[in-house]
Structure 1
Amino acid sequence: MSTAIVTNVAAAEIPIPYKTAARPNFLMCAPTLYDVTYVINPWMAGNVHASSRDRATAQWQSLYQALARIADIQLVAPQRGSPDMVFTANAGLERNGIVMLSSFFHPERQGEEQHFRTWFEQAGYLVVDLPRDTSFEGEGDALFSTDGFTLWVGYGPRTLLASHARLAGIWPVAVASLHLIDPRFYHLDTCFATLEGGFVLYYPGAFDAASLAKIEAFYPAEKRIVVTEEDALRFACNAVNIGSTIILNRISDHLTRQLELKGFHTVQLDLSEFLKAGGAAKCLVMKLSRTA
């Protein structure tokens, strides 16, 4: 049985039942209450209450439908007072049934934590906490390599370097810390994506020299796909990769050809309403290693 396609927002708020097919699994949140109501990153500046909820809903539905063809999707209900809950990548980091819950840097998003905690606990996950003064923003700043042995973790605008040691103590992985230096790319998943086949998609201008050296030492030149500033500002790195498919915001023809030459098929969507808050495809999903 395939995952049902959501055809309206009311249906999107109803959790999808468990599916037995062994497919990738993601957590999403319908944009029923999405809005830009504050400014906590450069993308939000000038966009307070400038987004269209109708357009955002249509764009989210397109992403949902593209994912539902090749993955299972769980849904957490949106909550009043938390307009950024739609960006579920920031809820935490999960692997093997354990969730490191996010400890949001900005007070505007800290109210989300209790809602995500409730969902994870009711779904049977073990939730691990960080101290309030150790900010960590989940999968937005922490991405496993496709072989699962390395955890790339950003630090700078949102996540503190001090959180990285705790992550290394929870899962048996090597933690590679990357320093983000451009405020436009405030989360790692806005400028860095690990791809199937051992590839990496990244924007060099988002990192300091030491971090770039780590990336280049880990990934051989033929596995590195460098993104221009133009495509980085389209959130090209904020991509969802499943097998040979990459789902992302609209990108340049040049980058499309680069990805195709590496064996990837791109599904390009208009996610412009979410760029107004500083997010795109990857920000709108959190990867789960098992079905709730």
Structure 2
Amino acid sequence: MAETTPTYERTVPRILMCEPTFFEVSYVINPWMTSHVHDTTAERAQRQWDALRETVQRHADVVIQPAAAGQPDMVFAANAGLVFGNSFVPSRFRYDERKGEEPHNHAYFARHGFDIVELPDGIFFEGAGDALFDRGTSRRLWMGHGHRSDLEAAPALARLLDIEVLPLRLADPRFYHLDTCFCPLADGYTLYFPAAFDADSLALIERHVAPAERITVDEHDAVAFACNAVNLGRVVILNRASPDLRARLEAAGFMVIEVALDEYMKSGGAAKCLTLRLDEAMDA
């Protein structure tokens, strides 16, 4: 599939996805990968990626980034970096296995006219996997740290992007990125797995999210990556939701769409990991 160019005249959401051409589990850098090295099927991975792309395309413009040989996790576009307005903050990966993605992502966003905003040297930051914009009335950024991204990235992002950044410490190694256990939804609702956070971070969430807008998930939904969801307006696209969670999301006014992504869960990712929002507006 040829590279597609972002377009900006439409007001619908814009989502980046990276082709799964080279996806496989060929190393272990998170607990999900441990028993799945060389246990993925290219045809099944392609079918699931295509199904997600087709689902997202019904609610957003999808831009396709070509994959790079030797970078099996590049398909997880959320980790390319963070977009805010026309600024792109590229990721700086903690593990050597993913560092090879960095020049490809830097070149792609520079080629498409984004201003590249670099974090200070020595700070690890894994993009929109650990940095999620609140979708309520307050314009703030939630930032996960403790496994992949450094706490020091929070004040650096606040300074570089002139935005409030709220750091959340991740306590469970299974939920190594913020987007595996926390998903801001439209109108201030927040979907999250409380056990993934330490006590101070839970208190921070509760201080900024009203009780009626907190949608907590149990462990059985969390390990099905229900929080690793793509929210487009009142649509929530995810791997799987229990009947109880689906009912609570629907009661809050959301339409839930399930897209099976178990092939990608072998590598520790699902719907949100496979997408990157390109239209995070400065004045939203």
1:167 to 157, 160, 169: 157
Asked if 1:198 is matched to 2:172, the reply is no
Larger CA deviation: 130-139 vs 191-200: 130-139
State the identity as a percent: 46
Shift in Å, 1:259: 0.5
**Hey, what does 1:44 align to over in structure 2?**
33
Task: Tell me the TM-score normalised to structure 2 length.
Answer: 0.96
Judged with a 3 Å threshold, the aligned counterparts in structure 2 of structure 1 residues 220 and 17 are, in CA distance, closer, same or farther, namely closer
**Hey, what does 2:219 align to over in structure 1?**
229
Judged with a 3 Å threshold, the aligned counterparts in structure 2 of structure 1 residues 176 and 212 are, in CA distance, closer, same or farther, namely same
Shift in Å, 1:40: 0.2
Judged with a 3 Å threshold, the aligned counterparts in structure 2 of structure 1 residues 229 and 17 are, in CA distance, closer, same or farther, namely closer
Larger CA deviation: 170-179 vs 35-44: 170-179
1:81 to 59, 70, 76: 70
1:51-66 equivalences in 2 (<5 Å) = 51-66=40-55
Q: Work out the CA distance in 1 between the residues paired with 2:266 and 2:138.
A: 32
RMSD: 1.4
Q: Work out the CA distance in 2 between the residues paired with 1:171 and 1:135.
A: 17
**Hey, what does 2:141 align to over in structure 1?**
151
Q: Mind listing any 5+ residue stretches in structure 1 that lack a counterpart?
A: 1-10
Judged with a 3 Å threshold, the aligned counterparts in structure 2 of structure 1 residues 91 and 47 are, in CA distance, closer, same or farther, namely same
Match of 1:284, SS state, is coil
1:80-229 equivalences in 2 (<5 Å) = 80-131=69-120, 133-146=122-135, 147=137, 149-229=139-219
Q: Which amino acid aligns with 1:199?
A: Y
Q: Deviations over 1:47-83 (max 9, x none)?
A: 0010111111000001000111111111111001100
Q: Deviations over 1:139-172 (max 9, x none)?
A: 0000011146111001001000011111001222
Match of 1:38, SS state, is coil
Match of 2:168, SS state, is strand
Q: Work out the CA distance in 1 between the residues paired with 2:191 and 2:6.
A: 33
Task: Tell me the TM-score normalised to structure 1 length.
Answer: 0.93
Is contact 1:155-1:177 (8 Å) kept? yes
Q: Work out the CA distance in 1 between the residues paired with 2:238 and 2:225.
A: 8
Shift in Å, 1:266: 0.5
Q: Deviations over 1:8-47 (max 9, x none)?
A: xxx3x43156363211001111111100010000000010
Q: Deviations over 1:169-223 (max 9, x none)?
A: 1222211010001000000000000000110000000000000000011111110
Q: Work out the CA distance in 1 between the residues paired with 2:280 and 2:239.
A: 26
Q: Work out the CA distance in 2 between the residues paired with 1:18 and 1:256.
A: 33
Judged with a 3 Å threshold, the aligned counterparts in structure 2 of structure 1 residues 290 and 223 are, in CA distance, closer, same or farther, namely closer
1:269-288 equivalences in 2 (<5 Å) = 269-288=259-278
Q: Work out the CA distance in 1 between the residues paired with 2:254 and 2:192.
A: 16
Q: Work out the CA distance in 2 between the residues paired with 1:173 and 1:50.
A: 41
1:14-29 equivalences in 2 (<5 Å) = 14-15=3-4, 18=7, 20-29=9-18
Count of aligned pairs between the two proteins: 280
Shift in Å, 1:132: 5.0
